[in-house]
């Protein structure tokens, strides 16, 4: 509790972006071996792969999948934000606008795609 | 702990993966309509040079990117350093690449 | 002229044997955190160790952690940080504590030198003074960072320093950046090499705590980003 307060007392928007980027990256890196192993079942045990894929229909796993897709998107946009911050000599408000525009356009594109299919 | 070379590799693999991640997200949104099945996935990917290149590049980049990222986290949050840190980074990278290459092989070639 | 009492918790001692002491300090309308610490030392416990000099935000010696945030105590009004009627005061993070609120600044200044954040003369006193174009891009970049007074607030705010003891930190790297942009400094190669090493600018994750907490409103994070750009530009020029 005290340790948590020691961290959160210094939190600010850019720091939250940093911690989100780090935790999403860590989670994705830990998930990858499982992801790869399941796909390689196509070679070693196709029946088991089908069984695993049907498992993804379960409610709890659906939520986890949504979480992973969200983390992937967040990590990618967080990374693009970081590279813009480091490499493009833009002012802070310009960067904020650019990040907002990218996020908004991605949201619109996703909505469009989900309606289209 | 992070040198210029590791920093650049991390950013180059990130730039390389940005469009690949967008592609992967699009495929996922498209693929989950009506549930996932092995036959459906393999029908799309098997024997396709394009998917082999797409996911082959992705796996190579993510193995490098993930290994360098974990290196930073292990050093800063777990105090791993020196030769141990180098070895762990290489094992992570080679491990991710091996597992990923097997998966790409399984869904596009075999 | 008030009967209000502040409950002030202060870290005492150093390292594993450190403890916290609680003091009841009279509250006044105009009172800085440094006033509170001084009141404790003068009226409650003469053995309390702390450091200050100018009291007006020029010397950079009175920085401490106030409710978990690094601040100049002399320029921090109590009303700005008061948590109910309580304040917690501790020594700066990321530096070894000598005793109570006084930290050993040696690692901070050693890194300053390790980052080549020292003057590299480009001419001797026998030569005429070179003209500096105040409006050149490099001078504007240098000017943005030269008001640093080495208070180590940014160093204490940075979590990358906490996890990576070799990391040179925001203050030293920002000074290296101002010198890199200084027409009168001749240390370009030495600076680029020292900030590209194992503890160099590439360890920065742009979390921005240095910029968020700098009491002088400087922007070390952007200075470090400048170093990142310059180091890889020079790498491409020399060939990978």
Predicted confidence at residue C240, as pLDDT, reads 52
Query: What distance in Å separates the CA atoms of residue B46 and residue A117, rounded to the nearest whole number?
Result: 23
Asked if A44's CB is within 8 angstroms of B62's CB, the reply is: no
How many C-beta atoms surround the C-beta of residue C109 within 10 A? Answer: 15
Predicted confidence at residue C86, as pLDDT, reads 94
Contact B58, B24 (CB under 8 A): yes
The shares of helix, strand and coil residues in chain C, as percent rounded to the nearest 5, are 40, 15, 45
Q: Which CATH superfamily is domain C5-103 in?
A: Beta-grasp domain (3.10.20.30)
Q: Which residue, among C237, C152, C154, C147, has the nearest Cα to C188 in the 3D structure?
A: C237
- Which residues touch B52 (CB under 8 Å, ≥6 apart)? B104, B108, B109
**Residue extents of the structural domains in chain A:** 17-28+58-116
Per-chain mean pLDDT for chain B: 92
CA C13 to chain CA mean position, Å: 22
Predicted confidence at residue A117, as pLDDT, reads 58
Which candidate from B2, B8, B77 shows the least CB-CB separation from C203?
A: B2
- Which residues touch C220 (CB under 8 Å, ≥6 apart)? C145, C154, C170, C171, C173, C174, C210, C211, C214
**Residue extents of the structural domains in chain B:** 2-108
Which candidate from C69, C212, C225 shows the least CB-CB separation from A86?
A: C225
Which chain A residues have a beta carbon less than 8 Å from that of B105?
Answer: 40, 43
| Neighboring chains of C (3 or more beta-carbon pairs < 8 A) | A, B
pLDDT above 50: residue A1: no
Asked if A114's CB is within 8 angstroms of B73's CB, the reply is: no
Question: Touching check for C39 and chain A: CB below 8 Å?
Answer: no
ipTM of the complex: 0.92
Q: Which stretch of A14-18, B63-67, C153-157, C165-169 has the lowest confidence by average pLDDT?
A: A14-18
Q: Which stretch of A17-31, A78-92, C4-18, C192-206 has the lowest confidence by average pLDDT?
A: A78-92
Nearest CA in chain B to C165: B76
**Mean pLDDT of the region A63-92:** 86
Which regions of chain C are under pLDDT 70? 1-3, 239-240
Domain(s) labelled CATH 1.10.1060.10 in chain C stretch across 106-237
**How many Cα atoms within 13 Å fall on the side-chain side of residue B10?**
22
How many C-beta atoms surround the C-beta of residue C155 within 10 A? Answer: 29
The tens digit of pLDDT for each residue in C4-17 reads 899 999 999 887 78
CATH architecture assignment, domain B2-108 = Up-down Bundle (1.20)
Contact C26, C39 (CB under 8 A): yes
In chain A the first and final C-alpha atoms are separated, in Å, by 47
Q: Which residue, among B86, B71, B2, B87, has the nearest Cα to C197 in the 3D structure?
A: B2
Question: Touching check for A9 and chain C: CB below 8 Å?
Answer: yes
Query: What distance in Å separates the CA atoms of residue A24 and residue A4, rounded to the nearest whole number?
Result: 19
Helix, strand counts (H, E) of chain B:
4, 0
Cα radius of gyration (chain B): 16
Predicted confidence at residue C1, as pLDDT, reads 44
How many C-beta atoms surround the C-beta of residue A51 within 10 A? Answer: 12
The conformation of residue C61, written as its DSSP 8-state character, comes to -
To 10 degrees, the CA torsion angle through C165, C171, C175, C177? 80
The conformation of residue C95, written as its DSSP 8-state character, comes to S
Question: A-C interface: how many C-beta pairs under 8 angstroms?
Answer: 42
- Strand-pairing partners, residue C69, are C66
Return the structure tokens found at C121: 């003369």
Which chain B residues have a beta carbon less than 8 Å from that of A26?
Answer: 69-70, 73
Min Cα distance C163 → chain B (Å) is 4
CA C165 to chain CA mean position, Å: 16
CA distances (Å), origin C79, targets C29, C32, C129, C174: 8, 8, 49, 31
Predicted confidence at residue C10, as pLDDT, reads 97
Kindly report the CATH number that applies to the domain delimited by C106-237: 1.10.1060.10
- Classify A72 as helix, strand or coil: helix
Nearest CA in chain A to C223: A86
Query: What distance in Å separates the CA atoms of residue A7 and residue C5, rounded to the nearest whole number?
Result: 28
């Amino acid at each position: 509790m005290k340790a948590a307060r020691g961290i959160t007392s210094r939190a600010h928007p850019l720091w939250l972006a940093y911690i989100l980027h780090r935790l999403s990256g860590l989670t994705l890196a830990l998930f990858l071996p499982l992801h790869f192993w399941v796909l390689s079942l196509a070679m070693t045990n196709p029946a088991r792969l089908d069984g695993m894929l049907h498992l993804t229909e379960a409610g709890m796993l659906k939520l986890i999948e949504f979480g992973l897709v969200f983390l992937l998107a967040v990590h990618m946009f967080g990374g693009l934000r970081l590279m813009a911050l480091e490499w493009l000599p833009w002012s802070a408000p310009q960067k904020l606008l650019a990040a907002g525009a990218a996020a908004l356009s991605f949201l619109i594109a996703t909505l469009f795609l989900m309606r289209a299919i | 702990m992070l040198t210029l070379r590791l920093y650049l590799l991390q950013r180059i693999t990130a730039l390389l993966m940005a469009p690949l991640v967008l592609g992967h997200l699009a495929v996922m949104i498209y693929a989950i309509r009506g549930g996932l099945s092995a036959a459906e996935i393999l029908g799309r990917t098997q024997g396709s040079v394009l998917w082999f290149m797409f996911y082959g590049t992705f796996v190579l980049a993510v193995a490098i990117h993930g290994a360098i990222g974990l290196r930073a986290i292990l050093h800063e949050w777990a105090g791993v350093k020196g030769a141990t840190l180098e070895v762990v980074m290489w094992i992570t990278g080679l491990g991710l690449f091996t597992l990923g290459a097997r998966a790409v092989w399984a869904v596009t070639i075999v | 002229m008030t009967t209000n009492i502040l409950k002030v918790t202060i870290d005492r001692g150093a390292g594993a044997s450190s403890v916290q002491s609680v003091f009841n300090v009279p509250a006044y309308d105009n009172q800085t955190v440094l006033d509170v610490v001084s009141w404790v030392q003068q009226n409650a416990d003469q053995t309390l160790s702390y450091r200050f000099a100018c009291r007006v935000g020029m010397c950079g010696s009175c920085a401490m952690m106030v409710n978990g945030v690094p601040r100049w105590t002399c320029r921090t009004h109590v009303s700005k940080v008061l948590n109910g009627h309580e304040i917690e005061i501790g020594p700066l993070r990321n530096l070894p504590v000598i005793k109570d609120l006084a930290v050993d600044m040696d690692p901070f200044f050693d890194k300053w030198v390790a980052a080549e954040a020292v003057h590299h003369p480009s001419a001797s006193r026998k030569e005429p003074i070179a003209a500096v174009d105040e409006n050149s891009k490099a001078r504007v970049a240098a000017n943005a960072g030269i008001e640093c007074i080495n208070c180590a607030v940014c160093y204490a705010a940075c979590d990358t320093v906490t996890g990576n003891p070799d990391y040179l930190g925001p203050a030293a790297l920002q000074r290296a950046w101002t010198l890199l942009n200084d027409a009168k400094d001749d240390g370009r190669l030495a600076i680029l090499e020292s900030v590209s090493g194992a503890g160099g600018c590439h360890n920065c994750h742009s979390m921005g705590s240095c910029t968020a907490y700098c009491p002088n409103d400087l922007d070390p994070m952007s200075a470090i980003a400048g170093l990142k750009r310059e180091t890889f530009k020079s790498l491409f020029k020399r060939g990978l």
